[in-house]
Amino acid sequence: MIELSKIAAISGQGGLFEIKTALKNGVMMESLDEKKTKIVASATSKVSILSEISIYTTTADGSVSLESVLKSLHKKHGVSLPVSSKSDGADLKNLLKGVLNEVDFDRVYVSDIKKVVTWYGILVVNTPELFVKAPEVEKSEEHKSETTTEASFESTQELKPAKKAKAPKAEQEKGKPEEPKAKKPAAMKK
């Protein structure tokens, strides 16, 4: 399953890329589209990892993660948004305002919203698993108490003394351990 931390946008390149592997001269990436184009992003490339992108808000935190916004868009609109990246600026702002009421439009521009809409379209088609909530595994109180009891029982059991390790055959024959040989002094340079 691919995670948002493995997906990036590269400035000057259209689309999104999955981070594959680090190389000496950059990072190998593969486009998320059906072409699966491979590209090496060098150290001079401007790469933005999606999990590290936030959207400015007027709240005390000051921002909200892109992942949270994408999931809110999916929850409200499903796989198809009512706008496209070519829609009117007011429509794009209304879309974002519909899922993020506290968005700070003084610092979030229409061009930023266009990127979010474009990325959302790519992610929904190529990585739908990002929008599926993983089932949470909860332990019942009964299971927790069983585990605790078992651990307590195991820790109170008697410990048996460890068996003595047998000495190597040569030492057994001599009856005493072999002493390390003294090192010869190194020759001095003249």
Tell me: do 62 and 104 sit in the same domain.
yes
In a domain, 178, yes or no: no
Tens digit of pLDDT for each residue in 114-125? 999 999 999 999
Domain that holds residue 81: 53-130
Regarding beta strands 38-41 and 63-65, do their DSSP bridges make them parallel or antiparallel, or are they unpaired?
Answer: unpaired
pLDDT at residue 178 greater than cutoff 80: no
Q: Are residues 60 and 33 in the same domain?
A: no
pLDDT band at 35 (very low <50, low <70, confident <90, very high): confident
Domain edge (last residue) among 130, 145, 171: 130
Task: Examine the pLDDT at 149 and tell me if it is beyond 80.
Answer: no
Quick one: 39 exposed, middle or buried, by C-beta within 10 A (0-12, 13-18, 19+)? middle
Do 31 and 60 belong to one domain? no
Which residues have C-beta within 8 Å of that of residue 67, sequence separation ≥ 6?
A: 4, 50, 51
| Candidate ranges 107-111, 126-130, 157-161, 170-174; pick with highest mean pLDDT | 107-111
CATH of the domain at 39: 2.30.30.730
pTM: 0.68
Mean of pLDDT values over 106-112 = 96
Last residue of a domain, one of 52, 74, 95: 52
Q: Decide if 189 is inside a domain.
A: no
Q: Which of 46, 102, 94, 96 lies closest to 73, judged by CA?
A: 96
